[in-house]
Amino acid sequence: MSTGRVMDWRPIFGHDEPYDAQVDGIETAVDTAREGGFSVVEGACGTGKTMIALTAGISLVRDPDTDYERVLVLTSVKQQLRQFETDLETINENLPDDAEPVSGLTLVGKADVCPYNRERAAGIDDGNVYDRCETLRDRTRDLTGEGGETTAASLAAQARSQQIGLADSGSRGGGATFLETAGEATPYPPDLPSYGEGGPVGAETEYCPFYARYLEDLPDEGSDGDAAEVVPYDFTGAGMVTPEDLVARSARHGTCPHSVMGAALGHVEVVVGNYYHAFDPRTVGSFTGALVDESTFVVCDEAHMLEPRVRDLVSDGVADATLRDAETELSRVIQPVKFEREGRQAEGGSQTADADLVRAELNDSDVSYEELNRTLEFLRDLRGELDRRVTAYLDRTHRGWKSNLTDLADAEIPLRDPAEPAEDELTEWAREAGYGDADWVRAEAVGAVVARILNEAEDEERTRAAPAVGRVLGEWYRRGHTDYFREIELERTWNEVEPVDSWRRAYTARLALHNCVPSDAIGSRLAAFGGGVLMSATLEPIEAFTEVTGLEYLEREEDRPVVERRYGLHFPEENRESFAVAAPKFTYDNRGRPGEENPTREHYADAIERIGRLPGNVLVGMPSYAEADWTAGVLEDRLSKPVLLDAASDDETTESLKTEFFAGEGKVLVTSLRGTLTEGVDYSGDRLSAAVVCGVPIVNTSSPRTKAVRRAYDDEFEDGFTYALTIPAVRKGRQAIGRVIRSPEDVGVRVLLDERYARESWDSVRPYLPDDGEFQPVSPDMLELGLERFRSKLESDSSV
C-alpha cells in the first residue's frame, strides 16, 4: 500500500531510528487512512506498535491536507494505556524545538477523578459516587440556573469563605482544614457545603463547590467563548495530561475534574480511553459522542479482544432486584392518583400535591395513567414467571435444594434451545398471558416518565430502575432470535434478608439478552471514524479477524480499504527456544477430571515438571482454574522451587501474587489461560525464563450461551466452532507464550504442549499459528533434549 513518497512523519517519531517494520507500518497506516481505510497489524512484541499508531495518527492530525482532528486510542488493558501515555511523552520530548507539544488526555470514570471519592470524604465512595454526583450537580444547577436563588460564583465563594472564616476564628488550632487530593490542596473543606445555612432546619441545600466553580467558568450563552475555556491549563503547552495530572490541575483551581475532562476531550490531539468510550451506546450517547466521527483517527489496541469486549458492551440484561425496584417506583407514582380517585388518603396526609405532579408530567408526555398500571401489572407477572422458572429449574436439577442453599453454583437457564434459533419461552409466555407488542415497547417510555416524576418529587437526580427495565424490555422485543440469545442467569450470592427457603437467598437472577454476533455493531461503529489502525500481537488468522469485526463488509460494500500487515519477532533467535510438543490432546475425554490418574495426565505432569526445573521464573498456563489447581499440587510434590497458584480473585490479590512471583529466586506460577496473568502483564527482563501452555483453552462448550454463539456463527460465517471458539482459544495461548520474550536482551523458552499445536489433523490448530516456523513440532522425548540444550546455554552464558 505504501506509495514510496516521503511521509512527513519523521519529526513526530519519538526515537532516533525506526525499525524497518515501523517505517512500513507508519506509511501503510497513513496512506490507508488518507483513503478512509483501516490498517490491521499483527506485530510481535518489540515491533513498536504503539509508536507506529501514534506517529501515523498525529502526523495525519497535523497535516493541513487531511480532515483528521484527533487520535482516539482504545485499549482494554491498563498497562497498555500507560504505554500510550509514555510513548506520547517520548514523542513530545523529541519534537523539534519549534514544534508545539502534542496535547493528550486519558479518559477515566468519575470515581477516579472526583476529589471527594478519591479521599473518601463527605460520605462519597465508589458505591454511591455516580448517584451522588448527579444529585449534587442538579442541585447546583437548580440553585444557579434561571430563576435560581444565587450564582455559581457565590456558591464557590461561600465554600471558600467557610475555610477562611474558620482560619480567622482560630478554630482547630488556628488553621482551616482543606480537602487535599493528587498532592494539591483544594480551596474547599472536606465536608460538602450547604446553601441556606442559618435558615429553618432542613432548608439547607448541599451542593458541589467544584461543579459550581466549573459553572462559573463557563462562557455566557451567546458569547463567542468556547467551553474549553473552563479547562484550567493551556492545551498548547500541557502535552500528555494523565488522570492524576488532570485532578491536580483541577483541584488547585477548585473546579470539577470530570467536567473539565468532558470539556477538554474534544480539543486535544490524542485521547486515550477504553473500548466502552467508543462502543458502549450509553457512554457514547452521554459523554464521548463528539469523538465518534470522520475527523477521528481511531486506534484499537489489543484488537484480539475487540470482538468479546464489544459483545459484552452491546449485550443487555436486567436483574430480578431491578425488576422489583421498578415495580416499587411504578407503585409510588400510581398510588397518589389512585388514592385521589378513591377518595382515600395515604398515611401521613393528603396525596393531592403528588397527584397533581403525576398528572402534569403525564400530560406533558404521551404516557397515560392506564399505561402505568398496565406496565406495573406486566412487571409483577414477569417476576412471577421468573420465580416459577427458577424454582422449576432447581426442583429439576437440585433435589432438596431448599435445605442446601449453600451448595448451589452459578447457572444458566436457556429460554430456547441454543442450537435451534426460535422465539424464546418468555416472549411466548407473555403473549399467552395477554401481553402484546405494545407492553414490551411502551415500557421504555413509561420508565422514563416514572424516573422524571420521582426525581421531581424528591428533588434528587438518582439512577432509577424503571428506565433500565423499560430499555431492556424494548430491546427484548426488538432483537432477533438468532443473533441474540435470551436466558436467565443465576449468580451465586447470599442475602440474609430473603426467606430461608427462597432461591433469592442464594442467587441473584438476571434476564439476559446476549448479542451473539457483534460484527455489525463493531463494523458500523468503525465506519463512523475517518480511518485507523487495529493492532495486536495475536490477530492471526487476520482474514477471520476482519470478518468477525465487520471490516470485510466495510471493504466490500463501502469501498473502504482494509490493509493487512504482519511483523514477526525480530529479536535474536539464539535467545529463545520454541517448541510445539506432540503430547496427547489435553481434552476432557483424554484427561478426565482433575485428580484422575491416566496416561494423559502423567504425560503433562512430566513435561511441566521438566520445564519447571529450568532456572528462573516459569509460567504455566492451564485451560481452567481447576486444572491449574491440579497442576500446582503435582509440582509442589515434584519441585524444590516455590510453586505459586493463581485463583479467580480480586485485583489486589492478583497484584500481590504477581509481586511475590517477581521477587527473589526462581518460582513457578500456575494460572488459568482465561485469567489476567497471561495477558497484558509485563514479564520483561529476568522476570520470566519460560512459559508453557497446556492444551487449547476452548471455553466450556456445554454452556447454553456458548452453544448459541456457535450456532449464530455457523449461520454468519459457516464454521462457527472455528470462528467462535478455536481461534479465540489459540489467541489466548499465544498471548501467554508472548510473555517470555519482550526485548532484545530477553532469553527464554516457549512451549505449546498439545499435539493439536504440533500435528496436522481434523482438529489441528497449527493453521492458526503464525506461518514463521518458530514453533517446530517435537515429540515429548525431544522436548527434554531441547530443554537440556537450552539449560546448558543459559549456564554457559551466565559463567561468562
CA nearest to 41, candidates 723, 537, 774? 537
Task: Flag the least confident range among 80-94, 213-227, 362-376.
Answer: 213-227
- How far apart, in whole angstroms, are the C-alpha atoms of residue 586 and residue 756? 9
pLDDT digits (tens, 9 = 90+) for 482-523: 999 999 999 999 999 999 999 999 999 999 999 999 999 999
**DSSP secondary structure of 305-325:** GHHHHHHHHT-EEEEHHHHHH
d(CA 398, CA 121): 46
User: Which positions ≥6 away from 136 have C-beta within 8 Å?
Assistant: 192, 206, 207, 208, 211
CB 761 within 8 A of CB 773: no
Q: Tell me how far apart the alpha carbons of residues 526 and 558 are, in angstroms, rounded to a whole number.
A: 12
Q: How buried is 773 (Cβ within 10 angstroms: 0-12 exposed, 13-18 middle, 19+ buried)?
A: exposed
Cβ-contact 336, 369 below 8 angstroms: no
Report residue 161: phi and psi, to 5°. Answer: -70, -25
Residue 200 pLDDT: 40
Question: 146: which 3 cell numbers?
Answer: 434561571
Alpha-carbon torsion 227, 231, 232, 233, what sign? negative
Cα–Cα dist 697/768, whole Å = 14
CA distances from 535 to 43, 270, 300 (A): 7, 17, 6
Cell (9 digits) for 137: 450537580
Residue among 650, 627, 759 at smallest CA distance from 698: 627
Q: Which residue's C-alpha cell is 467551553?
A: 227
Can you read off the three cell numbers belonging to residue 408?
448451589
Give the pLDDT of residue 201. 41
* CA distance to 254, 579, 580, 760, 777, per residue, from 773 (Å): 59, 10, 11, 14, 10
CA separation for the pair 263, 373 (Å, rounded): 42
Are the C-beta atoms of 208 and 215 separated by less than 8 Å?
A: no
| Number of other CB atoms surrounding residue 285 within 10 Å | 9
The string of pLDDT tens digits covering residues 700-748 is 899 999 999 999 999 999 889 999 999 999 999 999 999 999 888 888 9
User: What integer is the mean pLDDT of 556-564?
Assistant: 96
The β-bridge partners of 104 are 240, 270
At 579 the three-state DSSP class reads strand
Mean pLDDT of all residues belonging to the chain: 91
- The model's confidence at residue 162, banded by pLDDT at 50, 70 and 90, is low
Most confidently modeled of 151-165, 343-357, 384-398?
Answer: 384-398
Report d(CA 359, CA 372) in Å as an integer. Answer: 12
Over residues 640-657, the mean pLDDT reads: 89
Read out DSSP for 70-138? EEEEE-S-HHHHHHHHHHHHHHHHTS-TTSPPPPEEE---HHHH-HHHHTT-TT--TTTHHHHHHHHHH
Cell numbers found for residue 414: 436457556
Is there a contact between 196 and 203 (Cβ–Cβ < 8 Å)? yes
CB atoms within 10 A of CB 637: 9
Is it the case that residue 199 has pLDDT exceeding 70?
Answer: no
Distance CA 161, CA 645 (A): 55
| Strand-pair partners of 320 | none
pLDDT at residue 599, as a whole number: 95
pLDDT at 73: 98
Q: How far apart are CA 113 and CA 123, in angstroms?
A: 16
Amino acid type, 630: W
d(CA 447, CA 322): 12
Instruction: Identify the band that residue 771 occupies on the pLDDT scale cut at 50, 70 and 90.
Output: confident
pLDDT in tens, 118-134: 999 999 999 899 989 98
3-state secondary structure 608-642: HHHHHCCCCCEEEEECCHHHHHHHHHHHHHHCCCC
DSSP-derived secondary structure letter, 761:
S
Per-residue confidence (pLDDT) for residue 205, from 0 to 100? 87
pLDDT number for residue 176:
63
Tell me what pLDDT residue 345 has.
65
Cβ neighbors of 363 (< 8 A, separation 6 or more) are: none
Instruction: Round the CA-based radius of gyration of the chain to a whole number and report it.
Output: 30
Q: What is the DSSP letter of 583?
A: P
Those residues with Cβ within 8 angstroms of residue 704's Cβ, 6 or more apart along the chain or in another chain: 412, 414, 418, 485, 487
Short-list 334, 390, 399, CA closest to 367: 334
3-state secondary structure 432-452: HCCCCHHHHHCHHHHHHHHHH
Cell of 762: 481434523
Q: Residue for cell digits 525431544?
A: 782
Alpha helix segments (H runs only) across 342-442: 352-363, 369-397, 425-432, 437-441
Q: Mean pLDDT throughout 207-224?
A: 85
**Are the CB atoms for 454 and 460 separated by under 8 Å?**
no
* Residue 143: closest CA among 361, 187, 135, 121: 135
Contacts of 20 (CB under 8 A, 6+ apart): none
pLDDT at 766: 95
pLDDT value of residue 129: 93
The answer to which of 174-183, 313-322, 441-450 has the lowest mean pLDDT is: 174-183
Which residues are registered as beta bridge partners of 563?
39
pLDDT at 350 (0 to 100)? 41
Q: How far apart are CA 709 and CA 516, in angstroms?
A: 5
DSSP 21-74: HHHHHHHHHHHHHHTT-EEEEEE-TTS-HHHHHHHHHHHHHT-TTS---EEEEE
- With H, G, I as helix, E, B as strand and everything else as coil, classify residue 269: coil
Name the residue type at position 501: D
- How do beta strands 668-672 and 776-778 pair? unpaired
Rounded Cα–Cα distance for residues 15 and 319 (Å):
51
Lowest mean pLDDT among 249-253, 442-446, 485-489, 573-577: 573-577
Give me the amino acid identity at 550. Answer: G
- In whole angstroms, give the CA distance from residue 672 to residue 670: 7
Helix (H, G, I), strand (E, B) or coil at 210: helix
Taking residue 36's Cβ as centre, other Cβ atoms within 10 Å add up to: 18
302: cell is 489489543
- Read off the pLDDT band of 552 (50, 70, 90): very high
Residue 171: its pLDDT value, please?
Answer: 43
Largest CA distance in the chain: 97
6-15, 283-292, 366-375: which range is least confident on average?
Answer: 6-15
SS3 665: coil
* Alpha-carbon separation of residue 743 from 74, 76, 362, 770, 796 (angstroms): 24, 22, 65, 19, 21
Mean pLDDT on 320-348: 86
